[in-house]
A and B are shown apart, each in its own frame.
Chain A
């Protein structure tokens, strides 16, 4: 029997949910607020929450010093293409594991995930040397491939989980109606798994956007994305927190806006199949 929710309980739940939400969002909010402060106000103790002289000076300096557009374009290309490429490879892989599993499917899935357990720095030198050989250092193509590869296990796993929720009989029916494998994947499986695929793509895009180890170590000028843009404002010898906050706000703004507009889709996809 379903438990009735009293107005008092609803109020408590809502308050707690908002409090947790604000707590999680607070570092981002603080970064945004700091970006509008002077350097002296940024380090004031006790910290100033809202009562400071709002200024756009940090944004002006950051825009003057850095080519933000180039960093942004690189981030969009690298995160976008690595996500699309990953999806093109992961959909057939997840399909085969979900609908035509072999004795070793579970092992393969575990093995794929195990590649995520290796610290990235452990393979930095081999990857760097390969990139030198192939002329891929500081190229967007190189980063697209690397980010696609490091996120591929997560995409396959997520898609596999979504596909497992789809009854195999529907695909069998399509096959009996004469659908080819390509038609089965594109016209039958994909439309049914759209929420799952969309949330996987979004999550992968966010992961690729925020990836900092490879994007910092394999780029210099041409392919450097927004992570390098932020790193260029961090200094161990000098108080430049307000400028760093302005740079961080500019770097996270696009992905924050994307997440904001697609949160419904994201939540729907992540909870897809949770209730049968």
Chain B
């Protein structure tokens, strides 16, 4: 091939493969990476109104949660600059904030009213008192239960039940002949799935991941009690194959009337009372259980919008964050789609609004969020911040492995003791390698 034809081919290739760079008439375009959760998708539908008001166009990159986490982590650690806003959670925010990977959100406008953000959310999304991500919606976990089945069992759900009551109620509500399981809980491997649930549950049993010298604590009685209680209860009253059930599997079971109780994210309340639920009219809510040790088993999480330090469009990104996480957006959604569909758990003013107070799960969601304290989540002192996680970079990797061992024990592939022994070894080894011990 001659030089001329090679050049021709290269030109043709570059013309075909060049990314689209058409002028779209907007002053700027920002790119936002986000998850495919209902509230996020709803927000995308309102983006045109933001563009009309500001002249700033918005491009969305929507990915599954785990893919998104890997994608944005790669980009931010290499200063790739692919995104102007990233949707991240309470786990990443303080770690990335500490590394100067995020733009501080300490100069948002007075109209935005950053002081209105729920203190628990603001605390979890800050590092050293500086807010690094604005919560779009927040969640804790709580009990969602079938009021009709509870009544048929001759029981009454307390507003703040204990684990022993839950186990008893689960046994009473279980009706294997009619395919009704007393309780549905996460057992799926993954630090954000079954790992999150069992860690939050372990707090109420007095367990913790690390002592103050970062030594793993899986060889303690508290962890053994947690896992044995969980497994016995699920073997007695849980659905078949619970070791592989996560949020979606349990939501599906609950919506089909196959769970008496489900303890999971407060954001699920709108799903179980929504149009796709066959039991929407008979759902009650209660605080996540405790064991009388002063800590409940609920977690705290927020999906929040943060600006990576590498972006060239900080001002435009801040404008979007103020629009999306401000009170104006909430009012807009409420006006168009009803108060039950507004993003919950982020702002104090939402829970002071009489219209929102009329939503059945509003008060219990707020109570659950307020009862969760990431800075004091364990009975005995611990060196980490976080309830269902420890906010250190190594945690996601360690907890994924540990939760795999736990899931194997739930499925009967190994004993609880074996799983805890392995968890202890995995954790100590990783912490030693990372220089904590």
Contacts and interface: CB of A to CB of B under 8 A. Distances in A.
A81 B63 contact: no
Interface string A223-249: 110001001111111111000000000
Contacts of B41: 65
B78 A125 contact: yes
A137 B193 CA distance: 31
A216 interface: yes
B154 interface: no
B217 interface: no
A217 B82 CA distance: 11
B193 A77 contact: no
Contact of A138 (B19, B37, B70): B19
Contact of B35 (A124, A235, A239): A235
Given A39-B276, A129-B78, A132-B78, A237 B37 contact: yes
Interface in A136-178: 137-141, 144
B62 interface: yes
Contacts of B59: 220-221
Interface string A204-230: 000000000000110011111000100
Contacts of B271: 238-239
A140 B75 CA distance: 18
B405 to A, nearest CB: 21
A40 B64 contact: no
Interface string B26-46: 000001010111100100100
B353 interface: no
Interface in B31-83: 31, 33, 35-38, 41, 44, 59, 61-67, 70-71, 74-75, 78-83
A239 B428 CA distance: 37
Interface centre among A216, A222, A235 (most CB of B within 10 A): A235
A43 B252 CA distance: 6
B14 A216 contact: no
B110 interface: no
Give the residue among A81, A217, A234 with the most B Cβ atoms within 10 A: A234
Interface in A34-87: 38-40, 43-45, 65, 70, 77, 81
A229 to B, nearest CB: 9
Given A65-B44, A238-B248, A132 B70 contact: no
Contact of B74 (A39, A125, A221): A125
Interface residues of A, number: 39
A128 interface: yes
Contacts of A238: 36-38, 248, 251, 271
A234 B36 CA distance: 7
Given A132-B79, A140-B18, A141-B14, A221 B246 contact: no
A139 B18 contact: yes
Contacts of A70: 20
Contacts of A44: 256
B16 interface: yes
B82 A139 contact: no
A70 B19 CA distance: 11
Interface in B71-108: 71, 74-75, 78-83
A43 B247 CA distance: 14
Nearest to B70: A217
Given A141-B18, A235-B37, A235-B64, A40 B276 contact: yes
Contact of B258 (A45, A141, A216): A45
Given A125-B74, A217-B71, A239-B248, A233 B256 contact: no
Contacts of A128: 74-75, 78, 80
A129 B75 CA distance: 10
A217 B74 contact: yes
Interface in B92-146: none
B37 A43 contact: no
Contacts of B16: 77, 81, 140
B287 interface: no
A47 to B, nearest CB: 11
B265 interface: yes
B382 interface: no
A237 B247 CA distance: 6
B267 interface: yes
Contacts of B276: 38-40, 239
B178 interface: no
Nearest to A145: B17
A236 to B, nearest CB: 5
A141 B70 contact: no
A100 B61 CA distance: 49
A221 B36 CA distance: 16
Given A45-B256, A77-B17, A138 B63 contact: no
Contacts of B19: 138-140, 222-223
Contacts of B65: 235-237
A232 B65 CA distance: 10
Nearest to B275: A40
B71 A137 contact: no
Given A217-B74, A231-B67, A43 B79 contact: no
A228 B60 CA distance: 12
B255 interface: yes
Given A217-B74, A237-B248, A144 B17 contact: yes
Contacts of B61: 220-221, 224, 228, 232
Contacts of B23: none
A137 B17 contact: no
Which of B14, B17, B63, B65 neighbours the largest number of chain A CB atoms within 10 Å of its CB? B17
B152 interface: no
Interface of B: 13-14, 16-21, 31, 33, 35-38, 41, 44, 59, 61-67, 70-71, 74-75, 78-83, 192-193, 246-248, 251-252, 255-256, 258, 265, 267, 271, 276, 278
20 contacts: A39-B276, A125-B74, A125-B78, A132-B79, A139-B17, A140-B18, A141-B17, A144-B17, A221-B59, A224-B61, A231-B62, A234-B67, A235-B38, A235-B64, A236-B64, A236-B65, A236-B192, A236-B193, A238-B38, A238-B271
Interface of A: 38-40, 43-45, 65, 70, 77, 81, 124-125, 128-129, 132, 137-141, 144, 216-217, 220-224, 228, 231-240
Nearest 8 pairs between A and B by C-beta? A222-B19, A232-B62, A140-B17, A234-B64, A141-B17, A235-B36, A43-B252, A220-B82
Given A43-B252, A231-B64, A240-B36, 11 more contacts: A128-B75, A138-B19, A140-B17, A220-B33, A220-B61, A232-B36, A235-B36, A236-B65, A236-B192, A236-B248, A237-B65
